[in-house]
Amino acid sequence: MIVFLGIAFALLVLAMIVWMLLTQRLREKYAVLWLIIGVAMLVLTVFPGLLVWLSDAIGVQVPANLLFIGAIALLVGVTLHQSWEISTAEEETRRVAEEVAILRAEVESLKPGRGTIDPDVR
């Protein structure tokens, strides 16, 4: 019963990722990572012995610990990547705001009676 719930959950995650990708709620560069995670969930659910074999090969005594270590490493990686994306977006927003302010000042200076020298007044 647990195996069927795990398979159903993994398939639900994969279906949500594909739906979000098709409706453009998720960008392709993020979808690849989540699709890999969803497929890994499905594979580990269908073949639970794979996690035991992998933990034995690495030297981890309890397979669940390997799963937790992998999940924590994944979360740290995703958080670091999202922080980098936010930093890039903030820098781009600041740059665009500065350009808009410069353009607004130039437009204001071109309006009649504002900052232009009237050639008739001397």
Residue 98 to residue 101: CA distance in whole angstroms: 5
Q: Which two tokens stand for residue 92?
A: 């781009």
Q: Which two tokens stand for residue 8?
A: 């159903």
pLDDT at residue number 121: 47
State the residue for tokens 């071109």.
110
pTM value surpassing 0.95? no
Asked if residues 33 and 78 have their Cβ atoms less than 8 Å apart, the reply is: yes
If one counts every other C-beta atom within 10 angstroms of the C-beta of residue 74, the result is 14
pLDDT at residue number 17: 94
pLDDT at residue number 1: 80
Residue-wise pLDDT tens digits, 32-88? 889 999 999 999 999 989 999 999 999 999 999 999 999 999 999 999 999 999 999
What is the residue-averaged pLDDT of the chain? 90
